[in-house]
Structure formats: C-alpha cells, structure tokens
C-alpha cells in the first residue's frame, strides 16, 4: 500500500486566509504567510492553497503571493484559482508551485486538462471537483451553482481520461462543519475512479480521518477546519493512521 497523505487545505480570498462553511459563510483568518509558517513547524506532507474568488473575479491566483509563500515553504505546494491557460500554469510553477489545481475552467474547456497534462505532465495537474448532495444525488458545484446537467461520476471519469494526475473531491455539504465525512460520497468516488483521490469535507477528528483511509482507501485526506479550529494537528492524524497499521508519510 502506498503511504497515505494528510494535506491541509488553505483558502484565500486573494490575499487573506479564510474558512467557509458550506462554501458560504466566511471567517477571515489573517495572513497566509503566518499560516504557512505554522504548518512548516508541523511536519506537513504537502499543502493545497486555493484562491476561491479568483475565477469569479476573472483573474488568476496572485503569483507574487505564491512566491512569498514558497520562499518560506518546506513542503510541496498545490496551487489553484482562476487558472485558464498554460501560461498561467507556467507562471505559478516558476513562482514555486509544485502542482496546479484546476476547477472552473475545466467545465468550460475540458480539453484544457489534456493540453495541460500533455505539456506539464499528469503528475502536475490536479482536478478539483466541488460537489453537493441534492435530493439524494451528488452533483458538481461550481461558483455557487449546482451543475444539474452533469453526472458527477461521469465528470470524474472524464477528468481521469483527460489525464489528470489526481482529483481533489470537496464535499460542499459538509465543508467547515467538522461533522464527519460522507461515507456514501467516499464510496461512490473510490469505487469508480482509478487515479489518486484527495477527499475533503467534514473531517471531525484524527480518528475520523483514519476511518476514511481505512474503509475507503483514499490516497489523501484534505483537512482545513479541524486544524484551524481545534487542537488536532497533522501529526495526530498520522499517529491515528499508524495505530491501524496504515502507512503514512
């Protein structure tokens, strides 16, 4: 079994860190550099940084912010937000990103995923898919809108076929709630997708993260609120993995 990863997810509104609940209610948490330095002391495997306002504002994530963060960063960085071209990707890689997360533009131009994977390698391209449960069915969610006309599993499989290296699945329905992950969604995703899955949304404790990995064999757990609003740390999650003989980085 490959070693499992614990990945903090940091959301930006341009230049400040924030945390959402159900991708709606926002709480400002201050400077991303301060957050980065805190995680540096906690032996984090890697980090995902997403500018959640970039696409709506018709801009890319600020490369100078990424340069500042990467200068203090001792871990691989996945960066996302408003990416619409290979030039955007190249600029962020030069600024210090290790991987690039693509969400909104993939819906507008799915072949961009294939182009980006071909130019930079699949290992560099992460597809980020936000989803929400509606009347018992899971649907993609993008920029505040439910994509009723898109089947979630078919969309994930299309991204896989286009060459993404891994997929970040964000559960909007449990975002920021620390109420525990959605086992039905985890099962749906892991039973239908072959590329590595980072599963995020609702993680309530290190033991809950270990449950997710043990029962559904996700490749990584994306966590935000648990690390920002409780005493739990990434090392606590890795310890919970090791107690169950789950190999962890």
Q: Give domain status of residue 206, yes or no.
A: yes
Give the residue among 65, 57, 51 at the shortest CA–CA distance from 102: 51
| Token pair of 226 as six digits | 């648990």
| Residue 47 in domain | yes
Q: Tell me, what CATH number does 158's domain have?
A: 3.20.20.70
Does 109 map to a domain? Answer: yes
Token pair for 171: 């559960």
Residue 98 within a domain: yes
pLDDT > 90? residue 226: yes
Q: Are 85 and 113 in contact (CB under 8 A)?
A: no
Kindly report, residue by residue over 139-149, the tens digit of the pLDDT. 999 988 999 99
Question: 31 is in which domain, residue-wise?
Answer: 5-243
Instruction: Examine the pLDDT at 183 and tell me if it is beyond 90.
Output: yes
- Tally of structural domains, the chain: 1
Rounded to whole angstroms, the Cα distance separating 25 from 14 reads 17
Residue 163 β-bridge partners: none
Within-domain flag for 116:
yes
Structure tokens at 185: 């969604």
Place of tokens 């997810």: 9
Q: How would you write the chain as a 3-class SS string?
A: CCCEEEEEEEEECCCCEEEEECCCEEEEEECHHHHHHHHHCCCCCCEEEEECCCCCCCCCCCHHHHHHHHHCCCCCEEEECCCCCHHHHHHHHHHCCCEEEECHHHHHCCHHHHHHHHHHCHHHEEEEEEEEEECCEEEEEECCEECCCCCHHHHHHHHHHHCCCEEEEEEHHHCCCCCCCCHHHHHHHHHHCCCCEEEECCCCCHHHHHHHHHHHCCCEEEECHHHHHCCCCHHHHHHHHHHCCCCEC
Over residues 124-139, the pLDDT tens digits come to 999 999 999 999 999 9
Q: Give 77-110 pLDDT, tens digit per residue.
A: 999 999 999 999 999 999 999 999 999 999 999 9
**178, 204 in Cβ contact below 8 A?**
yes
Q: Is residue 249 part of a domain?
A: no
Q: In this model, does residue 218 exceed pLDDT 90?
A: yes
Token digits for 163? Answer: 């060459």
CB 131 within 8 A of CB 154: no
- The C-alpha atoms of residue 169 and residue 246 are separated, in whole angstroms, by 21
In terms of pLDDT, which residue wins out, 113 or 70?
113
Inside any domain, residue 248: no
- Calculate mean pLDDT across residues 167-172: 96
């Amino acid at each position: 079994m490959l070693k499992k990863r614990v990945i903090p997810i940091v959301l930006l509104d341009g230049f400040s860190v924030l945390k959402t609940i159900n991708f709606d209610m926002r709480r400002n948490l201050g400077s991303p550099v301060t957050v980065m330095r805190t995680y540096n002391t906690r032996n984090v495997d890697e980090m995902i940084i997403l500018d959640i306002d970039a696409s709506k504002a018709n801009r890319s994530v600020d490369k100078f912010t990424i340069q500042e963060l990467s200068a203090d960063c001792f871990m691989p960085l996945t960066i996302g937000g408003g990416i619409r071209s290979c030039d955007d990707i190249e600029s962020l890689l030069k600024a210090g990103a290790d991987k690039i997360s693509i969400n909104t533009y993939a819906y507008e131009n799915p072949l961009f995923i294939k182009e980006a994977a071909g130019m930079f390698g699949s290992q560099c391209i992460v597809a980020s898919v936000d989803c929400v449960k509606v009347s018992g069915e899971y649907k993609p969610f993008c920029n505040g809108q439910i994509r009723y006309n898109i089947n979630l599993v078919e969309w994930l499989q299309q991204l896989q076929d286009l060459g993404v290296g891994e997929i970040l699945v964000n559960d909007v329905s449990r975002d920021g709630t620390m109420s525990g992950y959605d086992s039905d969604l985890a099962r749906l995703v892991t039973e239908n997708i072959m590329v590595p899955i980072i599963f995020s949304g609702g993680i309530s404790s290190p033991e809950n993260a270990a449950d997710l990995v043990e029962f559904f064999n996700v490749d990584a757990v994306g966590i935000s609120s648990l690390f920002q609003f409780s005493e739990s740390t990434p090392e606590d999650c890795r310890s919970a993995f090791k107690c169950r003989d789950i190999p962890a980085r």
